[in-house]
């Protein structure tokens, strides 16, 4: 058919027909809310580089979570803000059974047993040097030594009741060893969300401010273990390896600058593909909103819909609380 018999604008003539012909939809089931947790009670701190986002003690977090869960929010991801006194070269606080994450998981699951709690398995919040791994005297990341620490951390999270452990460190081989450890300790139902395609990105800056690792990391780089932003095919290798080792879900991080990676991953693998709308993406979008350059609701929803169009099954976004309220109205 040719013009005028075929007119694509016919499917755009009204809101009703636009809705009917819409290919992708954003729902509350697509959202995972990343939250920064503090030790103590009745504590909250604003994050300068992430306007509108706060670090919170778990009691204040629950005050927000309970109504959000009632509105349909199904999942959160916990990121600890660790006091300097608990940081060390070997990151031993990461697997403390009475540590911040472990206590928080127990508290949240006790109050909201149906809420999916995802925990970050990585050492950078706990290391005195801010790296995701244990280092030698020359500053090299010791891959296999780090894996042993990650296993202890993951097991401590599973024992506390985490539904999903999410290794975000990018050490080679860690998914298989963690999966084996979980199985051997009978945590058969603890899922693994592997940060499989995590790039050495500049867009993580505000996150490192939020968890307090920026100062420890200083001018050091994570380029020896996180992926080169120039590489795409390598991401497919990384995802395939993690799935072969026992990952249940995989992550592409950052999000919007890497929509091509998300699309390619979805075409290759029949597993849930998650994406992280990272702190730098949030900071850019929120700055434009705060300056009046973009309309808040429309800009946020359009940005998140892009993830769905690319093939994402779940989105970690700091906007999950706002979007949950909007979608429930």
| Residue 74, domain member (yes or no) | yes
Within a domain: residue 105? yes
**Sign of the alpha-carbon dihedral angle for 209, 258, 252, 109:** positive
Q: Is the peptide bond before 303 cis (omega within 30 degrees of 0)?
A: no
pLDDT digits (tens, 9 = 90+) for 217-237: 666 789 999 999 999 999 999
Q: Which residues are 117's β-sheet partners?
A: 76
**Which pLDDT value is given to residue 210?**
83
The answer to whether 207 and 278 have CB atoms below 8 angstroms apart is yes
Q: Is residue 1 part of a domain?
A: no
Residue 19 domain-assigned (yes or no): no
Report, as ranges of residue numbers, the positions in the chain whose pLDDT lies below 50.
none
- Label residue 99 exposed, middle or buried (CB < 10 Å: 0-12, 13-18, 19+): buried
**Strand, coil or helix: what is 106?**
helix
Q: Which of 106, 198, 222, 308 is catalytic?
A: 198
Question: Does 198 qualify as catalytic in the annotation?
Answer: yes
On whether residue 168 sits in a domain, the answer given is: yes
Q: Residue 251: name the closest of 262, 259, 240, 260 by CA.
A: 262
Which range marks the domain in which residue 111 is found? Answer: 25-328
Return the SS3 of 285.
Answer: helix
Q: Of residues 87, 106, 222, 253, which has the active-site annotation?
A: 253
User: Backbone dihedral region of 191: left (phi > 0), alpha (psi from -120 to 50 degrees) or beta?
Assistant: beta
pLDDT score for 41: 97
The CATH number assigned to the domain holding 222 equals: 3.20.20.70
% residues pLDDT > 70 (the chain): 97
Q: What is the pTM of this model?
A: 0.95
**148 flagged as catalytic:** no
Residue 140 falls inside a structural domain: yes
| Residue located via tokens 């452990």 | 165
The answer as to whether 137 is a domain residue is yes
Instruction: Classify residue 276: in a domain, yes or no.
Output: yes
C-alpha distances in angstroms, 39 versus 61, 78, 143, 233? Answer: 12, 13, 29, 41
How many folded domains does the chain comprise?
1
For position 217, what pLDDT does the model report?
Answer: 64
């Amino acid at each position: 058919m040719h013009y005028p018999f075929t007119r694509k604008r016919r499917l755009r003539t009204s809101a009703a027909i636009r809705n009917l012909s819409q290919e992708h939809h954003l729902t509350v089931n697509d959202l995972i809310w990343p939250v920064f947790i503090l030790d103590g009670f009745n504590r909250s701190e604003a994050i300068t580089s992430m306007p509108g986002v706060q670090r919170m003690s778990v009691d204040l977090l629950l005050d927000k979570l309970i109504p959000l869960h009632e509105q349909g929010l199904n999942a959160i991801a916990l990121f600890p803000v660790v006091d300097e006194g608990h940081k060390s070269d070997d990151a031993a606080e990461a697997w403390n059974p009475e540590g911040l994450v472990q206590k928080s998981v127990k508290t949240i699951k006790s109050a909201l047993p149906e809420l999916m709690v995802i925990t970050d398995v990585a050492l950078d919040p706990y290391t005195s040097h801010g790296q995701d791994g244990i280092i030698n005297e020359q500053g090299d990341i010791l891959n296999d030594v780090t894996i042993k620490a990650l296993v202890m951390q993951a097991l401590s999270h599973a024992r506390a009741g985490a539904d999903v452990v999410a290794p975000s460190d990018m050490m080679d081989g860690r998914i298989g060893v963690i999966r084996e450890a979980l199985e051997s300790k009978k945590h058969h139902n603890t899922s693994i969300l592997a940060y499989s395609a995590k790039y050495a990105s500049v867009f993580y800056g505000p996150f490192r401010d939020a968890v307090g690792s920026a100062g420890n990391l200083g001018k050091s780089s994570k380029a020896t273990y996180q992926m080169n932003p120039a590489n795409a095919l390598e991401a497919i290798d990384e995802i395939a390896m993690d799935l072969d080792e026992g990952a249940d879900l995989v992550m592409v991080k950052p999000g919007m600058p890497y929509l091509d990676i998300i699309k390619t991953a979805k075409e290759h693998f029949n597993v849930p593909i998650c994406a992280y709308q990272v702190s730098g993406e949030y900071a850019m979008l929120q700055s434009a909103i705060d300056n009046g350059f973009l309309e808040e609701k429309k800009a946020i929803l359009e940005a998140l819909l892009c993830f769905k169009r690319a093939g994402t099954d779940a989105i970690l976004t700091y906007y999950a609380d706002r979007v949950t309220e909007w979608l429930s109205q």
